[in-house]
Structure 1
Amino acid sequence: MPAAVHAVLVARSSPEAVKVLGRTLEAVRSQTRPVDALTIVVCGPIAPVRELVSASGAEGVIEASAATPFAAAVEFALRRVTPGASVWLLAHDATPDATALAALAGELERGPSIAIAAPKLVDADDVDRIVSLGQSMTRFGRAVELADGEFDQGQYDALDDVLGSDIRGVLVRGEVIADLVPDRALLGVDEGLDLGVRAHLAGRRVALVPRARVAVPRPARKRMRDDFLQRTAQLHRRLAYAPAWAVLLHWLSFLPLALWKTAVQLIAKNPAFVPAEWAAAIVAMARIPAVARSRARIRRTRRASWAAVDALRATRESLRERQASHDHPIVRRELRFFSGGGAWAVLAAGVVSVIAFLALLSWPGVAGGALLPLARTVSGLWAEAAFGRRAVGLDVVSPADPFAAVTALLGSLWPGSPSFALLALWLLALPLAVLGAWFAATRVTVRSGLRVVMAALWALAPSFLSALVDPRPAAVLVHLLLPWLLFAGAAAHRSWGAAGTASLLLAAVIACAPSLAPALVVVWALGLVLTCALRPRGIARVVWTLVPSAALAFPVVLAQLDRGTPWALLADPGRPWAGPVLAADERWRIALGFPTSDPGGWGGFLAGLGLPAETWWVPILLAPVALAALVAPLTRRWRAGIAMIVIAVLGLATAGAALSVQVAWAQSQPVAVWPGAGLSLAWLGLVAAAVIAFDVGFAPRAVLRAAALVATACVLLAAIPSLTAVHRGQAALRSGTDTTLPAYVSAQAAIAEDVATLVLAPQPDGGVAASVVWGASETLGGQSTLQSTQPALSDGDRRIAEIATDLVAGSSADATGALAERGVGFVLLAAEGQDTDAARVLRLSAATAIDQRAGLVRVGETPRGVLWSVDVDRAPRPAISDDDAQTARGIALIQLIAVAVALLLAVPTPASHRAARRKPRVIAAEYEEVS
C-alpha cells in the first residue's frame, strides 16, 4: 500500500504573498495524486492570508514569527505529521504541476533506498528555464548547482542520483523524516544540500525526478546578504562535517582563511564579497553550540562512510566544463598590435628618440632643469617615500610627497644604479609615449591606421617635447601615464580589473602633477554621474578609482591644511625650478598649446639659421588637430566626442590657471606651477576627439585619411626644433652624475650615512641661499613640497640662516660648533647660479671668511664649488621620536592596504580575460565595430 503523503507548506505573510499563496494552494488541491494531509505554517501575521488558509482544507495552521526560517517552520509542522507518512516540503511561492506529487511518490515507491525525491524547479515567469535541478559541492564545501538558468531541453532528464537538491518541493520518506529535519543553523541556505549529505551518510540516496516540475520565482538577489549567508552556511558545514580531530584546526583557520580569501576575491574581481567573508568567519566561529548540535545529529544517524558523499562531489573538470558551457560569445576583435602597425610605430619612435637624444648614449646620467639624481639604493628610494626625516633641512620630519613613491618605483627598475633609470626614461620616452597612446586609441577606434595617427600625435605633443628638452621628470611621467589612464579609466565602470588599474594610474598622475587633481576629479565626478544613470552596477568600481589617490595624498593634504596653505597642494613635486615660462602678458599663448613663450623652440631654431625669428605661424600647425576635434561632437559618436572635448577644456583651464599659482620657491625665486601638465591633458582630449572625427566624420573615407595625414605632418613639423634641440645645444638637458655634491662628500657619505652638507648658493642680488643636504646627494625623491611651499621660516630654517650669515660675514660666533652640534660635516660654496657682479663679490668674500674660520678645513676647489670639512667631532643625527615612528607606521599601513587592494584588483585572471573578450574595446554605447 502506498505511503501517505503529508504536505507541509511554509507561507510568508504579506500582501504580496497572498496571490502567490492562492495559486500554490490551488496547485496542491489539483494534484492527480492528492495529499493525505496538509499543514500550513504562517510566518508572520495571519490576517492577510486567513481567508486562504481557512478555505485550504488544511488539517492544521501554525502561526510563527515573521523571522522564523524555513527549517524551523518545518520542524514545528513535523509534530503534526502522522508517523510513517512521507513529507512534501513546499514554500508559499512553489507551484507544483498537477502530476508532480504523483511522480515524486512513485519514485519513492520504486526505490526503497531513496530517502529524498527532488523535483525540477523551473522559473515561474519562464517555465522553459531551469532554476534548479540537483546540487553538489566541491571538496571544500562550496555549493554547486548542477543546472541553473539554462533552457529546459531535457538535457538533464537522465540525471538520477545526486548529492542534494533545493529543499523546495522535495518529498522525504516517512521512515527517515525524523532524522532528516532541516538544520536551522544553515540560516535558510543550502538546506536541501545538507539533507542530501546526511541522507547519504545514513546509507540512503537522493533521486532526481525531472518529470515532477515545480515553478518558483527567481529570488531578488541581495549581494552582500546572500554572500554572507552562503559563506556562513559553507563554514558551518565545514565544522559540522569535519572529523573530530580537525574541528579545532578548521575553527582556527577561519580568520587566516578570511585574509586569504580577501586576496583571492580581489584578484577574482569580487571585492563586494570581502565584507561578507569576514562577517561569515566571525559568525561561524561564534556559533559553537549550533555546530555541536549539527555534529550530534550527523553522529546519531550516520551509517555509511564519507566515500558515499565524495563520489558525488563536483570535480574541477566538471566545474570547468560548466564554465565553458556558460561562456558568452566573444565579440572583441583581435588587437592587431603587430599586424596593425602598432609595433612598427613604437620601433620608429625608438629610432627617432635615439637620433634626437644621441648624446645620451655616452652620458653617465642626465641633469639640468628639474632633474636630480635618485637615491643610490632601493632601500633609500623607499625610505624617501615614507613619512619620516627628509633629506633636506635640519631634522625635518614630515610626510613624503606621493611623487617620491613614483620615483622609488622608477628607480627600483634599475636597482644597481637607480639614477640610470632617469637616463633610460629619457631615451625611451618617445616610444613609450607611442605605445601608451596606441593602446589608448583602442578605446577610440578599431582602425589600425588611426591608432598609429593618435600615437604619433601624442608623442609629438608640444608640452611633452618641452618637458624633455627643458627637463621636467614629473611632467614627462604625467605625459606617459595619461593615455594609460584613458585606456583603463574608460572601462572602469564595467570591470574591476580596469578600475583597479585606473586607480593606480590616477594616483600616479596626481602624484606627478597635483595641479591636474581638480580637473581629474571633475572628470571622475562626471563619470560617476553617468555610471549612476546608465550602469548603476558599476558605481562601486568608479568610486574605488579615487581611493588610492586619496590614501597616498591624505598625509600631505592634512599637513598643508593644518598650516593654512591649501593652495600649496597644487605645487609641482620634485625640484622646484622656474625654467622658461610664459610672461604675464603672454599667457594667451596657453590657448595655442605651447607652455613657453618660444612656441616649439622655433624662435631659437630660426635664429640659429640666421633667419627672422618670427613664430606667429607656428600655432597654425596645430590647427588641423583642433579643427578635427571640434567636429567630433557632431558625428554619430557624439557622446565620446563631447567627453573628449570636455577633457580638453578642463586641461586648458588647468594650464591657464597654473600660471597664476605661485606657491613654491627655488632659493630666492618664486616658482609658478608648470602649465605643461594641463596642456598634456588638453592635448589628450583634442587628439582623441580628432581621431573620432577622422574615424566617423561626414567626409568620404579618402578625405578623412588625407586630413589625418595632414594633421600628423603639421604636428611633426612643429616638433622639429624640439627634436633637434639637444644637437643644437639649445636644451637645458645635460650630462650628469649620481650626486649633486662633490665626489669627496659622496665618498664620505658612503661611510657615514648621517653626514650633512651645508650648501651656500650666492644669489644674483648679492644674497645667499643656504640649505642642508643629508647623505651623498640631493635627490629627486627627497624633495618635499611641504618645504618648497613653506610660507614662513621654521626654527630650523632660522638656525641655518644664522649659521650661514656667521660663516659668510666672518662674525665671532662659534659657527663651526653649531654645525657640528647638528651633524653637519661639510660646507659647500656652490659654483652654480647666475654669475652677476653681486654674486661674484659674495662668492669671493664668503670664501675668504670661511677660510679664516677655525675648525673648517678647506678640501679644495671642485666642479660643484669650494668645499670645506668640519674638523670638529660631529653629533649624530637625532633619531625619529616614538610618536613620529608610530605615525609613520600607521600611514604606511593605510597606504599599503590601498595600493595592495588596487594591485590585486588590477591583476588579470582567466575569468577577467574571458569577461573582457565579451565586450568591445571601444567605449561607446552605440558604437558597432566595423572592419
Structure 2
Amino acid sequence: MPARVHALLVARPDGRTPAAHHLRRTVAALAAQTRPIDFLTIVLCGPEPGVVDVAKESQATLVVEAPASTSFADAVKLAIPSKDADAVWVLAQDTTPDPDALARLVGRLELSPSVAFAAPKLVRSDDRAEIVSLGTTMTRYGRAVGIADDELDQGQHDGREDALGADVRGILVRADAWSRLGRLDRGLRGADEGLDLGVRARLGGARVSLAPSAVVSVSGDGVAGLPVPVTAAHRRRRAFASRTAQLHRRLVYAQAWAVPLHWLSILPLALARTVAHLFRKQPGRIMPEWAAAVVALIQVLAVARARRGIRQTKAAPWSQIAPLRMTATQLRSRLGDAPVEPTARVRSELRFFAGGGAWLVLAALVLSVIAFTPLLAWSVIGGGGMQPLRGTVGLLWTDAAYGLRAFGLETVGPADPFAIIVAVIGSAWPLEPSRALIVLWLFALPLAALGGWFAATRVTERSSLRLVGGTVWALAPTFLIALTQGRPAAVIAHLLLPWLFYAGSVAHRSWSGAGGASLLLAAVIACAPSLAPALTVIWVAMLVVIVATRAGRGSARLVWLVVPSAVMAAPLVWHAIRSGNVWALLADPGVTWAGPQVAADAVGRGLLAAGIPTADVAGWATILPPETTWWVPLLIAPLALLALIAPLTQRWASGVALLVVAAVGIATAFAAVGVSLAFDESLAVPLWPGPGLSLAWLGVLGGALVTLDAGLAPKVRAARGIAVAVVSLGVLVLAVPSLTAVARDTAEISGGPASTLPAYVAALGAGDGNVGTFVLTPQNEGGVSARVVWGGSETLGAQSTIVATRTTATPQDDEVARLAAGLVGDSADDVVATLAADGVSFVLLEQAAEPVSGAARSFGLTAEAAIDQRDGLEPVGETARGILWRINGEVSARAAAAPSAQHMSGLISAAQIGVTLIALLLAVPTSTSRLEARRIPRVVGPHWEEGR
C-alpha cells in the first residue's frame, strides 16, 4: 500500500501562457488535498520571476532549475523521487487536482498490487463538463486513440477500470514500477508518454487502472501532453509530436527482423500520407509529417535504448496487449462523423432542375446549334485567330513542354501556359484533336449559361435571378464576339471566370474551394495574361479583408490560390526577365491576329465602358447604317444602373466588392486597347480587351443581382419582374447580330483547312513534329517575312509568345533572314544545303495578305523566279497555300535540344505536374468536406453571416 507519495511538478513559463497563475492554482490544489502529499519537487524549466516566486512560496521539498528547452520527460527525470516514497504523482503546472483526487488515486493502487499506475479523469479547466482524457489505447499500427477524448462527461465512462494506457498528466505510479520502467521515453517527443508507459507496464506483468472519480482539470498549455490546438502553431506541434511518437513506437515495439523494414518504409509512408492529407483537405499536416519522418529516421539511438529497456523488463508476451488495442471497426465508430441534424442544416437545396437551371442550359444548347449550324459539318474551325490542333495527343503535350518550339530554326524556351489548356482540350478527342474545338464552340453557349447560373448561386437564393445570371453571362457581347471572331483564348477565359468566382469566393473557408480556385485561376491567367494584374489586385484585397475581419483565418488557403499560377508561369517569367522583355508576359496567347476591335480613342473607350469590344457596335453596324446605331450601348444601361445601386442595399459589402471587380475589369480593358506587345509579321497587334470586359461583366452582373435580390423594399418588390425583363430583353437585343453572324456570313470563323501548309507537307508532318518548312510571305509594305514551321501545320497550341513578342533579333533570326535573302536574291551561297543541314525539307512561297499590293505581287514573282533557279530544290507545284518546293537529296534530322534544355524540361514538367496534382487532391471533395459545406450558406456575404 502506498504510504508516502512524492509529487513531481514541472513548470515551464513561455511568456504567452499565464504560467504563474496556473502554477499557483496547482500548488494551492496540492495543499488542499484530503490525503496530503508527503514530498513535493518542482522543476522550473526556464526562469521567470513570477513562476520562481510561486515555487519559493510553496511548501516544495526541492526546487530544481533547468533550461527552458528541457522536455517534460527530461524534467521528470531530474526530479529524483525520495527513497522513502512509495508512489510518484506526475503533475504539470496546468494540472489542478480536485481535493479528493489523490485519495481516490491511492485507493485505486491499494485495490491490487498488480496495478503499476492509476490515471485520473482529465477535464477542461474552463469547462469541466468536457472530458479531455480518460484512458488511451492504440490501433494495430500504433496510432494512439483516446477512449473518451472530447466527450461530454455524463458518467458514461465512470464504470471503466482497465485501459492500455493513459494521459501522463496526473498519473500516480508505484515507486518501484517508476524505477523499473525507466520513467518516460524521451523519443516520444512529448506525445503518448502515458500510453507507452502503460504498454511497458503491461509487458512487465502489471496493468493500468483508471480512476474516473479522481478528477484533474487541465488547461492544455503544452508543458505535459499536447497543447490545445487553438492556433496553427499548436496544431502543427500536435501533429508533429503525435506522428513522431507513432513512428517511434512502431520501431520500438516491432520484432527485431521487422525493424529495418519499418525504418525503410518511413519515407514512402510519408509520401503516401502526404497525398492522404491533401485528399482530406489537411495540408497543414504535411510539414509536420515530413519533420516527424526525418526525426524518426535519425533517432536510432533512442529506439535502441527503448527496445533495450523493454527487453530488460518484459515478463509477459505481446499477445497480452492485443485485446486492449482498438480494432478498425471500433476506430471508425469512434472517429466517424456524426450525421447532420435537420435543424443544423444551413445550406438550402441547389434546385438546379427544380429552379430551371437545366432548362436554361438546354435552351442555350438549342440556340447554339441554331446560331452555329454550319459547324456541324466542319472538321476544323478556321478564320480569325483559329488554327488546327496537332494531329496526335503526344505532339499536343510536346508543344506544352519546355524545349524546342515549333517556330524558328532552333528556338528553345518555355511553352505558353495556354498550350497546356489546348492540350487538355485536344486530348478530349484523341483521334482528331481539332474536332475538340468544334465541340467546344457548339457547347460554348450552354457551358457559359451553366457557369453563369452557378456563379449566381453565390449571390442569390432566388431561382429567377439565377436564371438571369446564366442568361446574361451567356449573352455577354464580348463572349459572342469572341465566338464569331474566332478568339479561343478569350472564349475559354469567359467560360472559366464564373467558376473562378464560384470557387474563389469561398476559398477562404474551404480547402476544396481553394484547390479548385487555384487551378481555375491558373487556367484563366493562361488564357488571358492581361487579367493577371487585375486578378492580383482582387487577390490582395481578399487577403486584406480576411486578415482584418477574420484575424487571418483562411489566409493560408488564399495564399495557395496563386501557387499553381506562379509555378505554371515561372518558366515564361524567367525567360522574359532574362530577355529584358517583361511586358511580353501580358501578351495574348494563341495566334497573333489583328482582328476588328475598338480604337484607343474616346469613342472606342466609350464602347468599352458599354461592354462592347468592337467598333461595329457589337455587329449592329453590319445590319443598320452606322449612324443609326447610337442607341445600342444604351441596352446595357438598366444592368449597369442596377449594379451601381448595389452598394446602397443592405448587402452593401457584397455590392462594393463586385463593383471593385467591375472597375478593375474596365481598367484592364482600357489599358489593353492601347498597348501592342505582339507582332503579326510586320504588323503590331494591340491586346484584345475582351478578357477585361468579361471580368467587368462579371462584376456588373453580380452587382445587379445583389440589387435585385436585396435592394427592393417590400412595397416595390413587384418591380423585380419588370427589371428582370428589361435587363434580359436589352442583353438579348444586343446579342442578335452576333447570334446571326454565321448565318449572315459576317463572322470571321469558317470551315478551315486541316493544315495551314500544303497538303503534301501536312501528310508528311501529321505525326512528325520535325518536318521543317521554310515559309516566305511577301509584305504589302515591301520586303518579305520569313519563318520556319515544324510539323504538318501551324497549330494553335504551338504558338509561342516568346517568338511573337520579340523586339530584338536573335542570332537565329539573323540566320533566317540571311537564308531568306539568299533564296530570293542572287547570292552565291549554298542556301539549300544549309537548309537541309538544319532539317528543313520544304520551301513555301505564300501569297501576300489581301488586298495584295503591287509591290508584294512584284516581289512574289521575282522570288519565285529566283527560287526556281536554285539547285537542290524540286518544284512540287502551286497549292492553295502558295508555291511549294521540296529539297532534293538528304535532309538532316532536326537537331535535338541540348541536354541542359532536356533536363530543364524534365524539372519544369515535374514541378507543374506536382502542383497540379496537389491542387486536384485539394479540390476533390470528400464526405467530410461535403458534410461541412452543408453547415455553411451557399451565398457569400455578410448578409448571411457566413463566418459564424
Quickly name the TM-score band, shorter chain normalised: over 0.9
Measured at CA, do residues 37 and 788 of structure 1 come closer, stay the same or move farther in structure 2, by a change above 3 Å?
A: same
Match for residue 44 of structure 2?
A: 42
Q: Secondary structure at the match of 1:584?
A: coil
Match for residue 616 of structure 2?
A: 598
Q: Which amino acid aligns with 2:737?
A: P
What TM-score does the superposition give when structure 2 sets the normalisation length? Answer: 0.94
Q: Secondary structure at the match of 1:119?
A: strand
Deviations 1:314-366 (A, max 9, x none): 33333333344666643222222122211111111111111111111111111
Q: Secondary structure at the match of 1:392?
A: coil
Shift of 1:54: 4.8
Q: Does 1:251 find its partner at 2:263?
A: yes
Shift of 1:213: 0.7
- Could you tell which deviates more after superposition, 574-583 or 115-124? 115-124
Measured at CA, do residues 89 and 596 of structure 1 come closer, stay the same or move farther in structure 2, by a change above 3 Å?
A: same
Match for residue 5 of structure 2?
A: 5
Structure 2: unaligned runs, 5 residues or longer? 222-227
Deviations 1:352-408 (A, max 9, x none): 111111111111111111111111112111111111100011111111111111111
Deviations 1:545-567 (A, max 9, x none): 11111111121112222222222
Match for residue 405 of structure 1?
A: 420
Is the 2:142–2:246 contact (alpha carbons within 8 Å) kept by the matching residues of 1? yes
Match for residue 645 of structure 1?
A: 659
Match for residue 844 of structure 1?
A: 861
Measured at CA, do residues 19 and 822 of structure 1 come closer, stay the same or move farther in structure 2, by a change above 3 Å?
A: closer
Shift of 1:203: 3.1
Is the 1:594–1:600 contact (alpha carbons within 8 Å) kept by the matching residues of 2? yes
Deviations 1:591-629 (A, max 9, x none): 11110001220111236xxxx762111111111111111
Matches within 5 A, 1:772-791: 772-791=788-807
Deviations 1:114-142 (A, max 9, x none): 32221111111222222222222233222
Q: Which amino acid aligns with 1:492?
A: A
Q: Secondary structure at the match of 1:600?
A: coil
Shift of 1:799: 2.4
- Could you tell which deviates more after superposition, 58-67 or 163-172? 58-67
Matches within 5 A, 1:339-350: 339-350=354-365
Q: Does 1:794 find its partner at 2:795?
A: no
Shift of 1:76: 3.0
Q: Secondary structure at the match of 1:121?
A: strand
Q: Secondary structure at the match of 2:128?
A: coil
Measured at CA, do residues 712 and 14 of structure 1 come closer, stay the same or move farther in structure 2, by a change above 3 Å?
A: closer
Match for residue 518 of structure 1?
A: 533
Q: Which amino acid aligns with 1:570?
A: L
Q: Which amino acid aligns with 2:70?
A: T
Q: Which amino acid aligns with 2:312?
A: R
Shift of 1:22: 2.3
Q: Does 1:23 find its partner at 2:39?
A: no
Match for residue 199 of structure 1?
A: 201
Following the alignment from structure 1 to structure 2, what is the Cα–Cα distance between the partners of residues 467 and 857?
42
Is the 2:388–2:794 contact (alpha carbons within 8 Å) kept by the matching residues of 1? yes
Shift of 1:445: 1.2
Measured at CA, do residues 583 and 2 of structure 1 come closer, stay the same or move farther in structure 2, by a change above 3 Å?
A: closer
Match for residue 754 of structure 2?
A: 738
Match for residue 386 of structure 1?
A: 401
Deviations 1:34-61 (A, max 9, x none): 2233333333348645554455444433
Q: Which amino acid aligns with 2:7?
A: A
Within the candidate set 237, 253, 259, 2:249 is matched to 237
Q: Which amino acid aligns with 1:790?
A: R
Q: Which amino acid aligns with 2:648?
A: L
Match for residue 137 of structure 2?
A: 136
Match for residue 157 of structure 1?
A: 158
Residues matched between the structures, number? 924
Q: Secondary structure at the match of 1:826?
A: strand
Measured at CA, do residues 502 and 242 of structure 1 come closer, stay the same or move farther in structure 2, by a change above 3 Å?
A: same
Within the candidate set 305, 313, 320, 2:325 is matched to 313
Match for residue 578 of structure 2?
A: 562
Is the 1:199–1:206 contact (alpha carbons within 8 Å) kept by the matching residues of 2? yes
Q: Which amino acid aligns with 2:483?
A: L
Q: Does 1:901 find its partner at 2:918?
A: yes
Shift of 1:455: 0.8
Following the alignment from structure 1 to structure 2, what is the Cα–Cα distance between the partners of residues 550 and 621?
39
Matches within 5 A, 1:712-731: 712-731=728-747
- Could you tell which deviates more after superposition, 48-57 or 580-589? 48-57
Identity %: 54
Match for residue 470 of structure 2?
A: 455
Match for residue 225 of structure 2?
A: none
Match for residue 449 of structure 2?
A: 434
Is the 1:817–1:872 contact (alpha carbons within 8 Å) kept by the matching residues of 2? no
Shift of 1:168: 0.8
Measured at CA, do residues 548 and 68 of structure 1 come closer, stay the same or move farther in structure 2, by a change above 3 Å?
A: same
Q: Secondary structure at the match of 1:537?
A: coil
- Could you tell which deviates more after superposition, 616-625 or 744-753? 744-753
Within the candidate set 911, 915, 927, 2:932 is matched to 915
Within the candidate set 856, 875, 885, 1:858 is matched to 875
Shift of 1:643: 0.7
Measured at CA, do residues 705 and 928 of structure 1 come closer, stay the same or move farther in structure 2, by a change above 3 Å?
A: farther
Q: Does 1:553 find its partner at 2:554?
A: no
Shift of 1:648: 0.4
- Could you tell which deviates more after superposition, 64-73 or 427-436? 64-73
Following the alignment from structure 1 to structure 2, what is the Cα–Cα distance between the partners of residues 616 and 464?
21
Root mean square deviation, CA, Å: 2.1
- Could you tell which deviates more after superposition, 521-530 or 910-919? 910-919
Q: Which amino acid aligns with 1:211?
A: S
Following the alignment from structure 1 to structure 2, what is the Cα–Cα distance between the partners of residues 752 and 436?
38
Is the 1:432–1:480 contact (alpha carbons within 8 Å) kept by the matching residues of 2? yes
Matches within 5 A, 1:97-112: 97-112=98-113
Following the alignment from structure 2 to structure 1, what is the Cα–Cα distance between the partners of residues 486 and 74?
73
Q: Secondary structure at the match of 1:726?
A: coil
Is the 2:755–2:762 contact (alpha carbons within 8 Å) kept by the matching residues of 1? yes
Following the alignment from structure 2 to structure 1, what is the Cα–Cα distance between the partners of residues 304 and 717?
75
Matches within 5 A, 1:484-633: 484-535=499-550, 536-585=552-601, 586-588=603-605, 589-606=607-624, 614-633=628-647
Shift of 1:928: 6.2
Shift of 1:736: 2.0
What TM-score does the superposition give when structure 1 sets the normalisation length? Answer: 0.96
Within the candidate set 752, 764, 771, 1:755 is matched to 771
Q: Secondary structure at the match of 2:754?
A: coil
Q: Secondary structure at the match of 2:618?
A: helix
Q: Secondary structure at the match of 1:606?
A: coil
Following the alignment from structure 1 to structure 2, what is the Cα–Cα distance between the partners of residues 44 and 584?
69
Matches within 5 A, 1:211-230: 211-219=213-221, 220-221=228-229, 222-230=234-242
Is the 1:131–1:218 contact (alpha carbons within 8 Å) kept by the matching residues of 2? no
Measured at CA, do residues 47 and 422 of structure 1 come closer, stay the same or move farther in structure 2, by a change above 3 Å?
A: closer
Is the 2:101–2:214 contact (alpha carbons within 8 Å) kept by the matching residues of 1? yes
Matches within 5 A, 1:155-194: 155-180=156-181, 181-194=183-196
Shift of 1:218: 3.2
- Could you tell which deviates more after superposition, 478-487 or 403-412? 403-412
Measured at CA, do residues 613 and 101 of structure 1 come closer, stay the same or move farther in structure 2, by a change above 3 Å?
A: same
Match for residue 694 of structure 2?
A: 680
Following the alignment from structure 1 to structure 2, what is the Cα–Cα distance between the partners of residues 111 and 926?
62
Is the 2:2–2:109 contact (alpha carbons within 8 Å) kept by the matching residues of 1? no
Following the alignment from structure 1 to structure 2, what is the Cα–Cα distance between the partners of residues 540 and 710?
43
Following the alignment from structure 1 to structure 2, what is the Cα–Cα distance between the partners of residues 156 and 637?
49
Deviations 1:623-663 (A, max 9, x none): 11111111111111111111110000000000010011111
Matches within 5 A, 1:698-713: 698-699=712-713, 700-713=716-729
Q: Does 1:287 find its partner at 2:304?
A: no
Shift of 1:847: 2.9
Structure 1: unaligned runs, 5 residues or longer? none
Following the alignment from structure 1 to structure 2, what is the Cα–Cα distance between the partners of residues 631 and 148?
52
